[in-house]
Amino acid sequence: MKKNKSTPKLLVEMKGIYKAFPGVVAIDGVDFSLEEGEIHSLLGENGAGKSTLMSILSGLYRPDRGEIYWQGERKVTISSPYDARCLGIAMIYQHFHLVEEHTITENIILGSKLPFNLSLQYYNEEIKRLGEKFNLSVKPTARIKELTIAEQQKVEILKALYNKVKLLIMDEPTAVLTPQETDKLFSILREMSKSGVTIVFISHKLSEIMAIADRITVLRRGKKVGTFQKQEVTPEKLAHLMVGELPEKFKSQISYTPKKDILKVTNLFVKDLQGNYVLKNISFTLKEGEILGIAAVSGNGQNELMETLAGIRKIFKGEIILNGKRIEATSARRKFLDGIHYIPADRKKVGTIGNLDIIENSAMRKYFQKQWQKHGMLIKDRIKDYFLPLINEYKLKLTTFSEKVKTLSGGNLQKLLLIRELDTPLCVLLAEYPTHGLDLEATQRVWNIIKEKASLGVGVIIVSEDLEELFSLSHRLAVMFKGEIVDIIDRKEATIEKIGLLMAGIKHSVNTY
Amino acid sequence: MGAGELIIILISSAIRAGTPLIFAMVGETLTERAGIINLGLEGIMLMGALTGFCITFITRNPYLGVLAALVAGALMGALHGVITIGLRGNQIVGGLALSMLGSGFSGFLGKSFIGVKTCGFSKLTVPLLSKIPFLGPMFFEHNLLVYLSYILIIISWYFLFFTSHGLILRSVGENPAAADTQGINVILIRYIYVIAGGALSGLAGAYLSLAYNQMWIENMTAGRGWIALAIVIFGGWNTLRGTAGAYLFGGIDAFQLRLQAVGTNVSATLLKTFPYLITILVLVISSSGLLKSSLHAPAALGLPYWREEKE
Amino acid sequence: MKKLDYLWQVLNTVLTLTKRTKEVKWLIWGIPLFSIVGGLIIGAFILILTGKSPILVYKEMFLTSLGSFYGFSEVVVKFIPLLLCSLGVLVAFRMLFWNIGAEGQFYIGAIVSTGLALKLSHLSTCQLLPILFIGGFAGGALWAVMTAVLKAYLNTNEIITSLMLNYVAFYMVEYLVYGPWKDPSGYGFPLTPQIPQSAVLPTFCNTRIHIGLIVAFICWILIWYLFKTPWGYELKVIGYSPKSAEYIGIKTKRNILLALLIGGGLAGIAGMTEVCGLVYRLQHGFAPGYGYTAIIIAWLSRLNPLATVMVSFFFSILSVGAAGVEITFKLPASLINLIQGAIFLCMLTGEVFIDHFIVKK
């Protein structure tokens, strides 16, 4: 099937789309169209409206205003995922929509026209054939929970292909992949595009977009800035369009003079409830003022390491020494008071409590201290007074102190978390995906805070899926794979390729991918 | 009485006593497989028992009574559905309220039916099968509803694991978002199975008042609704395994009745605590993870689902 | 299936539930109030169905409880165990720990205090009463802690466990009053001998209101205070977000045990006051379901101790009133259960609207 380059046929045309949620306008009058068979990238900051716009096509949301035209003249209403599926639209979300307990086949055939009596054998074979055809080999009887993230993504793609997808939308697909896996994904997408599938690739990573896209649409704050052919733009221009003004050139870390050890981890072993090792023989040292970045594919122990250092997980064997004192057996509360503070990955469900108000959330770490009590009862005003200076300094936007935290925006929520976790005494800051979901302004702010604290002598360990972020901030990079630290490299010696290989568990590469 | 005869009597009583638990357990398994937990079983069973009894008394037709019980159970299931699915209410507290309402309601309306006699379901011997030595009298000399329960066990097990509808049901309970993306109407599915579960619990109640006891007593379910919930867990949300649990309880129930009749040193009253204590034991074993295999609850059980609206 | 689906879509798109952006404060007490009214209305419908006039019945109910000094004192008498049980349920519910076992904890408290009273009849009032209070508390606390331990350490569903224990406790009472503790001079009735005079709770003036009222108020203030302490804060965090509790190092298991110790103990005291202040013995069917009513009260008061007092009082009024009309109007005793269940259901349908409202599409 050849693409007719002279008169590209329009697959989808979205006109005048407007979508608002309580309190925020997500899409403000956007026109968007897709040519058949192209790979189109949707670029924008976090919160720009990319996912929302595509979720309208996938049937998850319905636009408040606007029209959608399918394959030319036909006006359609996509009011549910079922409608989208009937049209041939499939969206793969950041958190995969797969049933973990079921097999690959059971996931893929769900929702198709199936006979009452189900004979999986037939479908297993069908899916095996489908996989081989598209170079996405899978073992159809495997359960989703046994697969790696990259394999699960393959299943999602197979699912779309099985449903005879015409338009495949992928929302930030490379966030969970190593650089090598990303390359493999891109080649699969190019194959699909050649066979006539239209692909939308939502991302905020400029370099990837330049690699994969035919055309690029930039969204900013719910409005379309423009649509461009790949040849018309450069990464710098795209960045400018995304943010609206020239972003600060982000300076890499200047090398610093090594100071004394602040945190020393030796032969750390941690087991989970089932008795399996989640961390094996972890050893490293963190110095005062050093930023150590941890790069790993999701699920390789980085989260468990953070939790162990924060005191949430019990260790099996090993030592953790903070400023010369052994602390591996102490509680989370004790570790906080000793100076190890933790910003968890899940801001909304772990780091903060949505249904409690701002004061109650701020109090989470030190609610037991006497200064905030009178006759044994917690006095909210005292807590408020304690945090007020920081709230003003970080410009935390709030209407009243008694409003529930769940009403706060992502950026504000992160501010709240920072205010609380940067409280004294602070020796080591553990930050997990600290800029995830934040727009560029908020991201810059978080980076500046981290750098500032490091310059004051705080040791920082940062886990992030964004290698560029890690490269900008870290002095050293540690790579984790299957619960172990594969290697720790100085920033000066690290390259994206090297780190990518290490993340996949390849310690000495024979050939570059 | 020979040992063989004793075993036949015991197992036969176990089956008779366990049948209401079968109905309720199958119903609740379906409901929970869809992701909804319905704690109102006790109240629904009572309403089913009363409704079945009333209608049978009025129409002199136990089949209509059973039908009425199914409808009553379905309605209560629907009510639970509206509160938990439509209004996204707390499933646990909602079920409790339903139980209380059901028991209060049935107690109130049933006052005038206490001590009344009506026709019911009597023993129906299956022609050929009951002649099988040993197994025949055990399984095939019961009333019609018991035979219905046999069919239900097999159909529900097959439905759940070997049909496409079963796959859909299980998927909705495990990951409603995934099912939604594949075009399945999650909310409709949940309503269907919470109503079906309610209907079956109503049937369980009707069995008590029309077949097992053939009368109406206030709170005659004596906690069976709660025991059924425990059996669902014990059965690992698998109706075949749950059957073992149901008959186990039937056995305990029948056993302590026998002991009472025979007259032992142990107080009859203390024996009555047995089923409840065993339920706790069974629950502890099931939940503690000591038993291997798939005792994994449907992942989305108890969580309301709606298409994510941004914050 | 597709037609059903389509009909469904139509229904669904006409009205949807949307989250509120601004809190509507008055609904927090308004909805419980409406629920009470709603429950009464449903009760009225049922009364009409059975051929009674709801207006007459309700009028008589409120007249009985509020129209005379005696009626009012009866309300207070019922209020004492209700408040205590409700507070007990409250403490557990704050952690989203579903303690349905208040009824059983009530029974065990009664059993322990009856047993102690009968065995220690030689002691004076000043010596005996504190022992009985502690005994009642301990009995209820122990009963509740069993459920807590099973949940905290063995992950066993607390709803079913606590419920099963209710039945066990009930049969334990039955066993005792029909068996070893049966009053030899009781004409074979299922009851224990009367407790000694030294075990009887002193009353106020000529009423049946006993000093359990003071104990109940003290407990109420204690609970109100506890909720405001760091410990109360911990309970809240455990309830709202167990993962956050783990994150900041709250000892969840220990808190569950402690909370249920207190909660069960409160229900146990309620059982003790019922025996020592009202019935003076253990007898068959002596507990009118306070443990279950307490759950409704706890939910309606939205786990706020201040509201709990008011709601408990109201339910006492209902309870006394219902007992009053039972004979005059020949109504079953379960009328009150019916109304309570209806109120509960109305509350559950109504409370959605505190955080959401319906939007026409």
Chain C contact for B115 (CB, 8 A cutoff):
no
Residue A287 φ/ψ, nearest 5 degrees? -100, 160
Are C348 and B93 within 8 A, CB to CB? yes
Are C168 and B269 within 8 A, CB to CB? no
Q: Which residue of A has its CA nearest to B289?
A: A274
| Average pLDDT value for residue range A330-346 | 93
* Least reliable range by pLDDT among A74-88, A380-394, B265-279: B265-279
Tokens of B2: 């020979």
B&C contacts, CB < 8 Å: 149
> H-helix or E-strand containing A471?
helix A467-473
Residues of A with CB under 8 A from a CB of B: 21-22, 24, 26, 52, 58, 60-61, 80-82, 84-86, 91, 93, 97-102, 106-107, 109-111, 114-118, 159, 406-407, 409-410
Number of domains making up chain A = 2
Q: Which chains touch B (3 or more CB pairs under 8 A)?
A: A, C
Helix (H, G, I), strand (E, B) or coil at B276: helix
The pLDDT score that the predictor gives to residue B295 is 62
List pLDDT tens digits, range B203-217. 999 999 999 988 898
Mean pLDDT, rounded, of chain A: 87
Q: Which residue of C has its CA nearest to A364?
A: C248
Rounded to a whole number, what is the distance in Å from the CA of A185 to chain C's nearest CA? 35
Does residue A46 lie in a domain region? yes
* A512: pLDDT strictly greater than 50: no
State whether A154 and A269 are in the same domain: no
> H-helix or E-strand containing A428?
strand A428-432
Q: Is C140 in contact with C257 (CB distance < 8 Å)?
A: no
State whether A102 and A63 are in the same domain: yes
Strands (E), B161-289: none
A&C contacts, CB < 8 Å: 74
| Average pLDDT value for residue range A116-139 | 90
Rounded to a whole number, what is the distance in Å from the CA of B309 to chain A's nearest CA? 8
Are B283 and C339 within 8 A, CB to CB? no
A&B contacts, CB < 8 Å: 85
Q: Is B40 in contact with B95 (CB distance < 8 Å)?
A: yes
State whether A47 and A147 are in the same domain: yes
- What DSSP designation does A328 have? T
Does residue A363 lie in a domain region? no
Residues in B touching A107 (Cβ below 8 Å): 178
The pLDDT score that the predictor gives to residue A1 is 44
The verdict on domain B10-287 having CATH code 1.10.8 is no
Interatomic CA distance for residues B206 and A114, integer angstroms: 36
DSSP for B202-221, please give it: HHHHHHIIIIIS-S--TTTT
Rounded to a whole number, what is the distance in Å from the CA of A250 to chain B's nearest CA? 31
Instruction: Name B139's Cβ contacts closer than 8 Å, sequence gap at least 6.
Output: B12, B15, B129, B150
Residues in C touching B289 (Cβ below 8 Å): 155
Are C338 and B98 within 8 A, CB to CB? no
Q: Is A79 in contact with C13 (CB distance < 8 Å)?
A: yes
Does residue A410 lie in a domain region? no
Q: Is B148 in contact with B200 (CB distance < 8 Å)?
A: no
Rounded to a whole number, what is the distance in Å from the CA of A85 to chain B's nearest CA? 7
Residue A269: name the closest of A279, A259, A283, A254 by CA.
A279
Are B267 and C351 within 8 A, CB to CB? no
For B135, other C-beta atoms within 10 Å of its C-beta total 13
* B164: pLDDT strictly greater than 80: yes
Interatomic CA distance for residues A420 and A414, integer angstroms: 10
Are A373 and C229 within 8 A, CB to CB? yes
Are A332 and C229 within 8 A, CB to CB? no
Does residue A73 lie in a domain region? yes
Chain B contact for C351 (CB, 8 A cutoff):
yes
Does residue A82 lie in a domain region? yes
**CATH assignment of the domain containing A188:** 3.40.50.300
Q: Which residue of B has its CA nearest to A97?
A: B178
Residue A337: name the closest of A435, A423, A446 by CA.
A423
Q: Quick one: residue C101, left, alpha or beta (phi over 0 = left, psi -120 to 50 = alpha)?
A: alpha
Residues in A touching C234 (Cβ below 8 Å): 367
Structural domain including A34 reads 10-243
pLDDT band at C5 (very low <50, low <70, confident <90, very high): low
Q: Greatest CA separation found in chain A?
A: 80
Are A97 and B181 within 8 A, CB to CB? yes
Instruction: Name B202's Cβ contacts closer than 8 Å, sequence gap at least 6.
Output: B44, B45, B47, B48, B51, B52, B69, B70, B71, B72, B73, B74, B76
The pLDDT score that the predictor gives to residue B311 is 29
State whether A239 and A268 are in the same domain: no
For B119, other C-beta atoms within 10 Å of its C-beta total 13
Chain A contact for C230 (CB, 8 A cutoff):
yes
Q: Is A105 in contact with A124 (CB distance < 8 Å)?
A: yes
Helix, strand, coil tally for chain A in percent (to 5): 35, 25, 35
Q: Which residue of B has its CA nearest to A410?
A: B311
CA distances from A279 to A224, A315, B57 (A): 45, 9, 68
The pLDDT score that the predictor gives to residue A511 is 46
* C3: pLDDT strictly greater than 90: no
Q: Are strands A39-44 and A198-203 parallel, antiparallel or unpaired?
A: parallel
Q: What's the CA angle centered on A305, arms A429 and A276, to 5 degrees?
A: 165
Does residue A138 lie in a domain region? yes
Q: Which residue of C has its CA nearest to A378?
A: C229
State whether A55 and A97 are in the same domain: yes
List pLDDT tens digits, range A144-186. 989 988 899 999 999 999 999 999 999 999 888 888 889 999 9
- What DSSP designation does A396 have? -
Q: Which residue of A has its CA nearest to C246?
A: A312
State whether A206 and A305 are in the same domain: no
* B185: pLDDT strictly greater than 70: yes
Interatomic CA distance for residues C131 and C142, integer angstroms: 16
Does residue A279 lie in a domain region? yes
List pLDDT tens digits, range B24-79. 999 999 999 999 999 999 999 999 999 999 999 999 888 999 999 999 999 999 99
Q: Is C325 in contact with C52 (CB distance < 8 Å)?
A: no
Instruction: Name C266's Cβ contacts closer than 8 Å, sequence gap at least 6.
Output: C84, C85, C87, C88, C91, C137, C140, C219, C223
* Least reliable range by pLDDT among B62-66, B259-263, C283-287: B259-263
Please confirm whether the linkage preceding A425 is cis (ω < 30° from 0).
yes
State whether A210 and A96 are in the same domain: yes
List pLDDT tens digits, range A288-322. 999 999 998 888 899 999 999 999 999 999 999 99
State whether A143 and A287 are in the same domain: no
Mean pLDDT, rounded, of chain C: 88
State whether A188 and A279 are in the same domain: no
Residues in A touching B182 (Cβ below 8 Å): 81, 85, 97, 110-111, 159
CA dihedral A113, A114, A115, A121 (to 10 degrees): 150
Rounded to a whole number, what is the distance in Å from the CA of C254 to chain B's nearest CA? 19
Tell me the ipTM for this assembly. 0.88
The pLDDT score that the predictor gives to residue C13 is 54
List pLDDT tens digits, range C168-179. 999 999 888 888
What residues does each domain of chain B span?
10-287
Interatomic CA distance for residues C14 and C8, integer angstroms: 10
Does residue A159 lie in a domain region? yes
Residue A402 φ/ψ, nearest 5 degrees? -95, 10
Interatomic CA distance for residues A234 and A228, integer angstroms: 11
The pLDDT score that the predictor gives to residue A186 is 93
